[in-house]
Structure formats: structure tokens, C-alpha cells
Chain A
Amino acid sequence: MRRWTLVVWLVGCGGPEWSDARVMAPHLEALDPNGDGRVDAEEYARTRWNGPPFATADIDGDGTLGATELARLVRVQSAGHFDGGGHAPVKLAEGMGSKRPTAVQHRVEAVAWKHTALQAAGEPGLTRSQEDALLAVVSEDSPALVEAEAAVEAAWSGLQR
């Protein structure tokens, strides 16, 4: 009876399907080139793991790391593993548009969009100097913007026809 209880526990739902050892075992393989099922000090050094010294990670002091020791490393080391400086701040997606009022930005986009389509159709669009001037536009009354709009508008109407 006791044996059946054990079998039920093993094959049923009572076992720790997601034990530390089972979770980490496949990842250990990648850190274990010699395939002996443990990560030794040399293997640990080879990966240049961004973690604590090997002796600290080797909790049981047997000279190797097993899956449960790796699990502990993930838990204790994670906090702050991204910090330490040296990273570029993530810029929010502003781009050149943020430097313009929205209405101006939309006019610039429309000119640029049409210019690109005209070029693709073999029509003359903006000149390179007009492109450069358009990129610098920040105000609604900019002569460069008005000129660029005029330059593409007639050709755009022709493209539509």
C-alpha cells in the first residue's frame, strides 16, 4: 500500500515538476562544455559570468556548481545585474518631429512623403538643397517649407492624374 502511495506521488501531480534542479538542468549544459553535468571553476571563468566569485557560488564547497546552485545564483544575483553604470540612457522616441509644432511636422511629412513617391515614379522632387532646408524647418512660416510644398505639389497632382 505504501509502495502504491509512492508510485502515485511520483507519477501523479504531487511531484515538483518545476524544481530548481529540473528548471536549471538544461541551462547548466550550456555552461558545461566538458559535459560532466557540473560547472567547474574553469568553465565558470570561461563564460566570464557577470556574477560572484566561483568560491561564493559553490555553496557546498565541492569545487563544482550544480543546477540548484545555479538556481540560487539566478535568484541572488539578479538584482542589480543590469546596473553599475556604463549604459547609454534609453532615449524616448522623439526624433526630429519633437522639435517642431505638430502642424509643422505634419506639413513636412506630407512634403517628404510626396517627394519620395515622385522620385519613385521618376518625377523630379526636391533638390538636395531643398531637402536639407526642409530638414531644418521648425516654424510654419518658414520659406523653405513653403518652397518645398510648391515644388512637389504640381508634380503630385500630375502623379494622381
Chain B
Amino acid sequence: MVGAVLSTACRAEATRPPEGIVVVCLDTLRADRTGVGGHPGGLTPNLDRLAAEGVYYDNAHAQANETVLSHASMFTGRYASELGPFSHQGIPEGTPTLAGRLHAAGWETGAVVAGGHMARAFGMHAGFQHYDDTLDWGSLADTGPPGLRWVDGLDPDRPFFLFVHGYDTHDRYLKPTPFGYSRADADHPGLGRDLGRVAGAVSQVADGVWVGNTDQLERWATVRPRFERGRGAAELPGARALTDADVAHLSGLYDGSVAWADAALGLFVGELEQRDLLDKVWLVVLSDHGHELGSEGSFHHRFALTDETLQVPLVVRPPGGLETGRVETGLVDLLDVFPTLLSVGGAPSDASVRGQALWAGGVPRKPRRSTTFAEGRLRLLSARDTAGSRLTAEGLSADHPDLVSLLAETPVGGPSYRLTGSPDAADDLQHAIVGWRTTLAEGAP
């Protein structure tokens, strides 16, 4: 009781202007690997603690299945295909961004990212005054400390926005991770062992086989839905099949990387606490997309739009934390992060921002979304409803000039449209996809 009273007294007022916003992105972290998301393995005790002090969004979805597109969407509050030709990767120069809007509202803005597709070359630095992308495929343990050193040098009277990012759970987790084989059998024989020792090798797994030639694999993945007729990736030259034990082994290595990422997250939060910032900042922890982990035979995230590749953890912890954490089961998008942070930061928004603010006046709001949409560069578009049914159109580029008519005229039921979940949802989801793309084609908010 005494503790509760004192704890209440120590919690910062979430409604007053925050001193900062800190967003941590754990790239390629599946929602179902978190404890708060239902995983029993104790992989994320620190993320779970944060969730217990804030709101955990248990039904949060990315708008794209790869890093560059998902971040471009999150940073701009737009779908990636709205940012120019879909073949363009990243944020075109001059595009308004979250960081830019916060900076215009008087905030200091900085980011330390782990390189790769987060590099400046992809325009991700837009709006950030400080953007450190010098690491190449680094960990949050690498990006967190320099991010906080940047904060240390700021004028304490100005609010700041810090974005830090790590590839700890990306497919480079296999090499193995620094946590080694803590969740996998180090003596597992066969192909799984070999792939687990070469970072990135799992990205060449599709259709249950490993394909050595990435050009072959890309080509196969691109045409797969259209020209199946029994020609799976197993027919590609040099393909080697994975066993169930291989899949389990590689998934175990991924789990080790999740634990590693969580450790890095906890140490980062400890650094915030040491700086007396934990009670003064909005802390958001999220991922940009998930990972297939063997579902449908792949160990990547670009080959499919599914809950495995799109459902992500999302924690919003207000300054000082909540007395009691909440789990919000309503459907939310990563697009919602943009207006949410503008709202908590007191920066103006406008109709061009597509998401919905999840907090207002320091209080969480009930999500009102009924459908979430996503895009994939390998000619994938999908709609998912609140009940978990998903319809994915496979084979059309997002910028195809006849996209809307082709989507609308094609009966659901063939391999062009892929439905998971309730058959009763098919028509509604097709209408939703057509409506979504019509709205985007018209440029409407």
C-alpha cells in the first residue's frame, strides 16, 4: 500500500509536455515471440516489464513486410506506395516526416540506426537533425549508447525525439547470436546447422528448400503464384530440402536472438533510468515487421503478407509509466505511431497523415480501425480484419495502372487472391482492398 502510494506520487504527469520521446525499433521481431504477446519461453522479460507499465498493443500490424518500406511508411504516415514509384526505395527528398514535424514544433530530433536499409541512401534521415547510420547491421546494444550520448549533449530545456534501431533479430541473428545456442541444439546435424552458421543464409530458404542462387530464388518468388503447376522451388537447381528438425533448430536460434535483443533493450532502459529520463519521456518499443520462421516454407519476411510477417509488438509507455499496464486488443497500424507521437508531443497534425492517434491528452484511446492493409514489393497487397481473416492479392504491383479494375474484376477463390481465415470474410476483404487502392489512387486522405 505504502509502495503503491509512493509509486503513484513518483509517476510523472502524462498530460504535461514531455521532455522527450524515445522510439526503439527491434527490427524483425515477431509479436508472438514476446511474453506479453503469449510466448511461454521467457524470451522478453524486459519488454514485458515495459508493457506492464504502459499499453501493449496486441493486434498491431506493419504496413509492409520489409524494413525500408515499413519505416518509410511509419516515418511519413503514408503507405510506402504513396511515396513515389513503388520500385523506389525509401523516402523521397522533400517528403514531410514525423521527425521533421516535431523539429518544426521545436523538438530536437536524432536517430542512431543500424545501417542496412536504414541508411541515409534510402532517405530515412529526412527530418532528423542528427542521423547516425555508420553502423552496418548492428545491434541495439550498439545504437542505444550513442543515441543517449546525443541526448546528453542537448539543451535540457528543449524536448527531444530519439529513434534507435537494431537488427538483433533480423536474419543475421544466425551466425549464431551472441547468446549462442541457448535456445537451440548446438549439435543439431544437417542443413539447419550449416545455415545457422552463416548469417543471412536462411533468407535463401523458400518453399521448404534452400536455394543457393539468390537470383533464381527471387525470380521464383516473383512468379510463384502465377505459374505454379507443380513447379516449386524444390525444382530449382541445387535446391536442398529442410527437415522439420532444421526448421525447429533455426527457430531456436531466432529465439536466442530475441532474448539477446531483449537484454539490449533492458540495458538501454537502464541507461534512461540512470539519466533520470525514464519518468520524463514517452517510450515506444516496436518492430517494423515480423519473420516467417518456416511458415509456408520460408525463413524470410519479403515473400508473404501474413500475421507472421506483419504482426509486430508495440508498447507505448507514458512518462513514469502507468500504474497498471493494459493490453489493447483492438486493431492498430504502425501508421498510427505518427499521429500518436505528434499528439503526445503537442505538434500539429493534418489530414495527410493516415493513422489514428492512439493517445490523446495523455490517455489511451480505443482503436477504431476495422481493417489493416499492407504492401509488399514482391507484388503483394493484403487486407486483414479484426477477426484475423486476411485476403492477399498476389501478382500485381502497387503502382499498376489497372490495379483497381483487376482487383475488382477478379473472383476471389483462385491463387491470385489468397484467403486465410473465414471464407465469409472474402467478399468484404476484397471490397476493402479495392476501396483502399481506390482511395490511394485518388490521393484522398
Say whether A29 contacts B409, CB under 8 Å: no
* Selected contact of A96 from candidates B10, B176, B223, CB within 8 Å: B223
Chain B residue nearest in CB terms to A12: B6
Say whether A13 contacts B204, CB under 8 Å: no
Q: Using an 8 Å CB-CB cutoff, how does the interface string of A89-118 with B read, 1 for contact, 0 for none? A: 111111111100010011001101111110
Say whether B273 contacts A17, CB under 8 Å: yes
* Selected contact of B264 from candidates A16, A78, A84, A116, CB within 8 Å: A78
Chain B residue nearest in CB terms to A111: B226
At the interface, yes or no: A5 with Cβ under 8 Å from chain B?
no
Say whether A18 contacts B45, CB under 8 Å: no
Q: Using an 8 Å CB-CB cutoff, how does the interface string of A40-58 with B read, 1 for contact, 0 for none? A: 0000001111110000000
Q: Looking at B117, B229, B400, which has the most chain A CB atoms within 10 Å of its CB?
A: B400
Q: A77 to chain B: closest CB distance in Å? A: 6
Residues of chain A with a CB closer than 8 A to B203's CB:
88, 90
* Selected contact of A13 from candidates B2, B6, B395, CB within 8 Å: B6
At the interface, yes or no: A128 with Cβ under 8 Å from chain B?
yes
Residues of chain A with a CB closer than 8 A to B414's CB:
116-117, 119-121
Within 8 A of B (CB), among A139-161: 159-160
Interface residues on B, range: 35 or more
Say whether B178 contacts A51, CB under 8 Å: yes
Chain B residue nearest in CB terms to A71: B267
Q: In the docked arrangement, what's the CA distance between A74 and B262, Å?
A: 11
Q: In the docked arrangement, what's the CA distance between A104 and B259, Å?
A: 46
Known contacts A24-B263, A26-B42: does B198 contact A18 (CB below 8 Å)? no
Say whether A78 contacts B218, CB under 8 Å: no
At the interface, yes or no: B92 with Cβ under 8 Å from chain A?
no
At the interface, yes or no: B123 with Cβ under 8 Å from chain A?
no
At the interface, yes or no: A34 with Cβ under 8 Å from chain B?
no
At the interface, yes or no: B85 with Cβ under 8 Å from chain A?
yes
Among B138-146, B157-165, B238-246, the one that faces the other chain is B138-146
Chain A residue nearest in CB terms to B376: A93
Say whether B397 contacts A91, CB under 8 Å: no
Known contacts A18-B278, A97-B222: does B3 contact A23 (CB below 8 Å)? no
Residues of chain B with a CB closer than 8 A to A51's CB:
178, 180
Among B181-189, B308-316, B331-339, B433-441, the one that faces the other chain is B181-189
At the interface, yes or no: A2 with Cβ under 8 Å from chain B?
no
Chain B residue nearest in CB terms to A92: B89
Q: Looking at A74, A78, A84, which has the most chain B CB atoms within 10 Å of its CB?
A: A78
Q: Using an 8 Å CB-CB cutoff, how does the interface string of A126-147 with B read, 1 for contact, 0 for none? A: 0010010001000000000000
Known contacts A88-B200, A110-B406, A160-B409: does B42 contact A20 (CB below 8 Å)? no
Residues of chain B with a CB closer than 8 A to A98's CB:
87
At the interface, yes or no: A11 with Cβ under 8 Å from chain B?
yes
Q: Using an 8 Å CB-CB cutoff, how does the interface string of A14-31 with B read, 1 for contact, 0 for none? A: 001111101110110111
Residues of chain A with a CB closer than 8 A to B443's CB:
none
Say whether A75 contacts B141, CB under 8 Å: yes
* Selected contact of A97 from candidates B204, B262, B397, CB within 8 Å: B397
Q: A107 to chain B: closest CB distance in Å? A: 10
Residues of chain B with a CB closer than 8 A to A92's CB:
89
Say whether B175 contacts A50, CB under 8 Å: yes
Say whether B139 contacts A81, CB under 8 Å: yes
Within 8 A of A (CB), among B108-137: 116-117, 136-137
Chain A residue nearest in CB terms to B141: A78
* Selected contact of B402 from candidates A24, A110, A131, CB within 8 Å: A110
Q: In the docked arrangement, what's the CA distance between A116 and B221, Å?
A: 15
Say whether A82 contacts B411, CB under 8 Å: no
Say whether B406 contacts A18, CB under 8 Å: no
User: 7 A-B contacts, Cβ less than 8 Å apart?
Assistant: A13-B10, A20-B270, A22-B266, A24-B267, A89-B200, A119-B415, A131-B227
> A50-B180, A90-B117 given. 20 additional CB < 8 A pairs?
A8-B6, A12-B6, A13-B10, A17-B273, A26-B46, A47-B181, A47-B186, A49-B179, A74-B267, A78-B178, A78-B264, A81-B175, A87-B172, A88-B200, A90-B200, A93-B302, A109-B397, A113-B395, A120-B413, A121-B414
Which 3 pairs from chain A and chain B are nearest by CB? A120-B414, A13-B10, A23-B266
- A residues near B, CB below 8 A? 7-8, 11-13, 16-20, 22-24, 26-27, 29-31, 46-51, 70-71, 73-75, 77-79, 81-84, 86-98, 102, 105-106, 109-110, 112-117, 119-121, 128, 131, 135, 159-160
